[in-house]
Structure 1
Amino acid sequence: MSPRLVFWVPAAIRLALLLAGIGGVWYAFGLLPALAAGVAAMMVLLFVQLQYLYLLSSWLEDPASARLPDGWGAWADIFSRLYRLRRQDEKHQAELTEWLARFRQAMSLLPDGVVIMDDVLFLEWCNTAAEQHLGLELGRDKGMRITNLIRSPIFMDYIILGRYEQPLTLNLRDRKLIVQIIPFENRRQILVTHDATESERIEMMRRDFIANASHELRTPLTVINGFLEIAGAQPNLDVQTRLSHLRLMAEQGKRMQNLVEDMLTLTRLESVEYPLRPEHVPVASLLEQIRQEAEALSSGRHAISLSVEGPDIQGGIDELRSAFGNLVSNAVRYTPEHGRIDIVWRLHEGAPQFLVRDTGIGIRPEHIARLTERFYRVDKGRSRETQGTGLGLAIVKHVLLRHDAVLSIESVPDKGSTFTVTFPARLVIDSGMRAAAA
């Protein structure tokens, strides 16, 4: 049945019943009572219609499906349709609200900043990354012009020129940002920010590493090639000179070999393809081997002591041997003759600690923070004399990172240094586990 018939047929039936009632009154009581009854019935119907119009008007001020009144007659059908429409609208609004919440949550988790602006650059919304990158605060800055919030002449020129097809590199708040504006809809624009600070730092480290490695390799190669040229140009050199040249070439070749091995070790430690495989580390025997190696390197020039009072731990034996060995060998190299070196393994406040204490030349405070950088040397001349590659403490840092350990350095120039490695307590192997392993 068509909507028109659905409305008019019940209305016609109700009108016919009303007229039939009035006709019955006319037949029973006469014309005047029938007219009075008809007028009263029309007044009642008019009041009912006005009442429902008032309820409809009140409901439209706050259209909620739960507040929709019940109706009578044609109003019942009208309110029923309004109820269905309102329920559908509420369902769509709930879906839109859910999608908007998901969108904002997804945008808030993006590492890149996203700022939504209108066509005249007034801030409408931004995510957490954008607040961090640009120093914005959505609750405070919403509705403000973005050029008043980002005060940078380079950014202002970018806005004025309007060449948005190319990104802008912006140094802001000690960050290097890649910024680009993307037109969005007719009256919206999106400002996207990417923090390139870490990428720039890694690229700089890569360039420095290549430059330093090339420089470190160039010196021994120059020495070896120079002696080879001399040998080729002067085949009649005396035996003593030739042996001296061969000895120097062997030393430089060993230096290159150590450098390459240390670089390969660093690459392996940084690679995700070589995860740490924890195993039982017998600390006492490991440190005894390192003490013996230190004695051999010292050749009796230092007093070296070893104290082991801590438990065994779980970790990578070869990696820890390399880290501990580097710390001890550095102490030997940078401690003058007749100096003292103490190697200590202990349990400190529930956490295992490894200490190397020496009476060496010490380190000035401004150098301590950079000691674990690749190829960083406090005294380049002394490092070359001691055959150091400049990568030992960088290897120590990466080994400790893989074991969640912390390195602290205390040093007084001309008096000595103490290198302390603190491991997490969870790496400790208790006596029961050691007995089972034995």
Structure 2
Amino acid sequence: MNPKVLFWVPALLRLCLVFVAALVVWWMSGVVEALVFALAAVIIALFVQLRYLHELGEWLNNPHSSRLPDGWGAWTDVFARLYRLRREDERHQAEMAEWLARFRQAMQMLPEGVAIMDDVLFLEWCNEAAERHLGLSLARDKGLRVTNLVRHPEFIDYVILGRYETPLTLSFRGRKLECRIIPFENRRQILVTHDATDTERIEAMRRDFIANASHELRTPLTVIVGFLEIAMSDPGLDVATRTAHLALMTEQAQRMQRLIGDMLTLSRLESDEFPLKRERVDVRALVQSVAAEANALSGGRHTIDVEVDGPDVMGSAEELRSAFANLASNAVRYSPQGGTIRLKWTRGADDLRFSVMDCGIGIEPIHISRLTERFYRVDKSRSRETQGTGLGLAIVKHVLLRHGGRLVISSVPGQGSSFTAVLPNTSLPG
């Protein structure tokens, strides 16, 4: 039915009702009484309308569906419509608030920094990553100009000049950041920051690894190729010279084989395709085997003591053997003849420890933090003499990381070194 009809028909019926009542009063009491009655009815109706207008005005100052008055007459329909509109509006607001909360939560979870600015670069919102990257604080800096908060000449030029086609890379607060500004709407801009520090570090490590590996392989290859050229150009070499050349080529080929083997081991340890396979490891037998290998490498030039006073562990026997053997072989290579090397497996208060202690040349403190880097050598000439690949301690580090452990190094120059593989108590069999 037409809304106008729905409004006027009840109103006219009420007027008719008042008119009929006034006629009845006129018939029963007279015309004056009828007029007084009609006037009183109109005043009461007017008071009711003014009262509902006042309540409507009060409600509009603070609209909420739970505070809407009930109404009477035409006001019942008015308030019912307002109630439906307000409930729908509250539902939309709740949905918008939920979506906004989800959006902000998603933005907070991003590793990239996100900051929203207006057209004059005043900060409106930013996530925690942007606060870390740029040193911002949403609670403190909201409403302030970003160029006043991030005081870096390259960043200010990038923002003001508006050349947003390519991202800006800058060093800020000790990190390497990539910044990009994305205009949206008419009066908003999004500043996105990406911390490229780890990427830069990994890329530098990759370049260094390739360069070092190429250098390490080039030396034995040069020796082998040189001797082969000599053999090809001079078929009349005497047997002793030829035998010496073959021995040197064999030694260099074995060096390349060890280097490639260590590189493949490192690659496997770092790959997600080879998850750790846990098994019960007989540590006593493992340490005894490592000691036997160390004795063979030493050739009787050192005294190797073994102490096993700890339990078995859960882990990869092959990987732990590789780590322990690398520590023991390093001690043999860098200890002078007649020295003593101690291999010790013990259980501490809250961890398990395999320690290798030698009485070798020792290491200066400035080198200790870099010993687990690939191909890092304190003394390159001595490393060639000991036939090390420069990857042993890097392998130890990655094996321990896979087992939840760490490597602890202490050394006194001229007195010796101690390398300790620390495993957590969670490695104990259940």
**Which TM-score band applies after superposition, normalised by the shorter structure?**
over 0.9
Match of 2:62 in 1: 62
- Comparing 331-340 with 232-241, greater Cα deviation is found at 232-241
Distance 2:349 2:111 in 1: 39
1:131 is matched with 131
Map of 2:43 onto structure 1: 43
1:434 equivalent in structure 2: none
Deviations, residues 63-82 of structure 1 (Å, cap 9, x unaligned): 00100111011111111111
Give distance in 1, aligned partners of 2:158 and 2:277.
Answer: 52
**Is 1:204 aligned to 2:190, yes or no?**
no
- Which amino acid is the alignment partner of residue 276 of structure 1? L
Cα drift, residue 382 of structure 1: 0.5
Q: Secondary structure at the match of 2:372?
A: coil
What's the counterpart of residue 280 of structure 2?
Answer: 280
Counterpart for residue 423 of structure 1 = 423
SS of structure 2 residue aligned to 1:63: coil
Task: State the alpha-carbon separation in 2 of the partners of residues 60 and 52 from structure 1.
Answer: 12
**Matching of residues 153-168 of structure 1 within 5 Å:** 153-168=153-168
User: How many Å separate the matches in 2 of 1:41 and 1:327?
Assistant: 106
Amino acid at match of 1:29: S
Query: Partner residue of 1:20?
Result: 20
Q: Distance in 2 between matches of 1:210 and 1:53?
A: 83
Counterparts of 2:124 and 2:183, CA distance in 1: 14
In 1, Cα distance between the equivalents of 2:227 and 2:198? 44
2:70 counterpart SS class: coil
> 1:345 maps to what in 2?
345
SS at match of 1:183: strand
* Equivalent residue runs for 1:372-411 within 5 Å: 372-411=372-411
Please give the root-mean-square deviation of Cα atoms over the aligned residues, in Å.
0.9
Residue deviations 1:257-294, cap 9 Å, x none? Answer: 10000000000111111111011111111111111111
In 1, the alpha carbon distance for the partners of 2:251 and 2:59 equals 95
- Tell me how far 1:351 sits from its aligned partner: 2.5
Aligned equivalents of 1:23, 1:126: Cα separation in 2: 74
Aligned equivalents of 1:309, 1:185: Cα separation in 2: 70
C-alpha distance in 2 between matches for 1:256 and 1:80 = 88
CA distance in structure 1 between the aligned counterparts of 2:272 and 2:166, rounded to whole angstroms: 35
Per-residue CA shift, 1:163-221, capped at 9, x if unaligned? Answer: 11211112111111111111111111111111111111111111000000000011111
Counterpart of 2:395, as a letter, is I
Structure 2 distance, partners of 1:351, 1:190, is 48
Task: Tell me if 1:246 matches 2:279.
Answer: no
State the partner residue of 2:308: 308
Q: Offset at 1:429? A: 3.0
Are residues 1:4 and 2:4 paired?
yes
Alpha-carbon separation, structure 2, partners of 1:368 and 1:329: 18
Does the residue aligned with 2:429 lie in a helix, a strand or coil?
coil
Q: What does 1:121-270 correspond to in 2, within 5 Å?
A: 121-270=121-270
Give the letter aligned to residue 30 of structure 2.
G
Q: Give the Cα–Cα distance (whole angstroms) in 2 for the partners of residues 230 and 183 of structure 1.
A: 69
Letter in 1 for 2:235: P
Instruction: Tell me the equivalent position of 1:99.
Output: 99
TM-score by length of 1: 0.97
Moved over 4 A (4+): none
More divergent stretch after superposition (361-370 vs 235-244)? 235-244
Q: Give the deviation of 1:160 after TM superposition.
A: 2.4
Structure 2 gap segments, 5+ residues each: none
Letter in 2 for 1:344: K
**Is the partner of 2:347 in helix, strand or coil?**
strand
How many Å apart are 1:350 and its aligned residue? 4.5
**1:371 partnered with 2:375:** no
Instruction: Kindly indicate whether residue 358 of structure 2 is the aligned counterpart of residue 354 of structure 1.
Output: no
Listed one character per residue, the Cα deviations across residues 387-426 of structure 1 (whole Å, up to 9, x for unaligned) are: 0000000000010011111211110000011111121112
In structure 1, runs of 5+ residues without a counterpart are 431-438
CA-CA distance at 1:246 after TM superposition: 1.1
Output aligned runs, 1:77-88, within 5 Å.
77-88=77-88
Q: Secondary structure at the match of 1:423?
A: strand
Equivalent position of 2:319 in the other structure: 319
Q: CA offsets per residue over residues 223-262 of structure 1, 9 Å max, x none?
A: 1111111111222122221111111111111111100000
Q: Aligned equivalents of 1:151 and 1:77: distance in 2?
A: 60
Distance in 1 between the 2:217 and 2:376 partners? 15
**Residue of structure 1 equivalent to 2:113:** 113
SS of residue paired to 1:420: strand
Give distance in 2, aligned partners of 1:350 and 1:169: 45
Which residue does the alignment assign to 1:435?
none
Deviation (angstroms), 1:2: 0.9
The one-letter amino acid of 2:19's match is L
Give the letter aligned to residue 384 of structure 2.
R
Task: Report the Cα distance in structure 1 between the residues aligned to 2:210 and 2:306, rounded to whole angstroms.
Answer: 38
